[in-house]
Structure 1
Amino acid sequence: MRFATALLILIGAASAAAASEGFEIVIPQRPGVPVVINGIDASYAVVEGQSGLGRGNYMQPTIYGGRPVDPEPNVGHYYPTLGARPGYGRMEIEPPANRKLPKPAESFSRSWGAQSQMQPAEPAVPMEPPAVILAPRDGGAAGYDNSSPAYRR
């Protein structure tokens, strides 16, 4: 009996929706993220109405099977955009003055530094000196003109 009643309601809603430009069944793109239309969660609900980029007019959509959504989150955090004042005062318990104090913590310190290592002393003459190369005294090698080019003035 309940199934037949639900089927009749669905057929009636579908025929009414088909008479006014059709209907859509809203399926969310990501599970757990609701599709909210005018403050109503329309996930897996039937929505009828004209809307979209190709329409020149706008008709208020009718949602069949949606659930109302709270306009502000129902949590214990402070959101400045909601306009509500934050909680006032501390939410902690003052311990009694004659309580047993915990053992003091051991001291801890850490430091670091950087410096260059000492270089070994170098002898005045290397153990294996390089070969001696004599440079020409006349200003260059044979066949090479080392003079500056003559520029026109």
Structure 2
Amino acid sequence: MRIWLAFAIVIGTASAALADTAPVLVIPGRPGVPIIINGIDASYAVVEGDWGLAKGEHFTPVIYGGRYADPTPNVGHYYPSAGYQPGYGRLEIEPPANRRLPQPAEGYHESWSAQSAPQSVQPEVPMYPPQVIVAPPGGDAGIPQDFSAPLRNFPHRKLPKVPR
């Protein structure tokens, strides 16, 4: 059993090494879009030649089963409504000079503007603040605070029970 497994691995690696020089079956990526090689439609054909790193300077593939591709395909035209090919460009009709003109449109004007902040306003923080900032005397609202006293224990209010 091990001999067959080793033999399969050897065959698999040898065929992978020769995969870029073997003949290739060409399958288009999108249906209806042909693969053209040197003027020949190679869709669903076998192509033989040098590929990838084995390619020399002159690449001349051999295509088995391909057919010649028309460089200018003959596409039929069908115009069911008119029965003939429509004109090219747009149809411009010059109106007569003595025609009745429409009423003029009413006026419309709208404008937008933007400007910078005025330069005369001083920012709250000076550009070059002093080295030491002195707090106002008396603390907040002029009430002195004593942090050395112990904290008072305030009685907590009990919330009423909500019936379920």
- Which TM-score applies when normalising by structure 2? 0.34
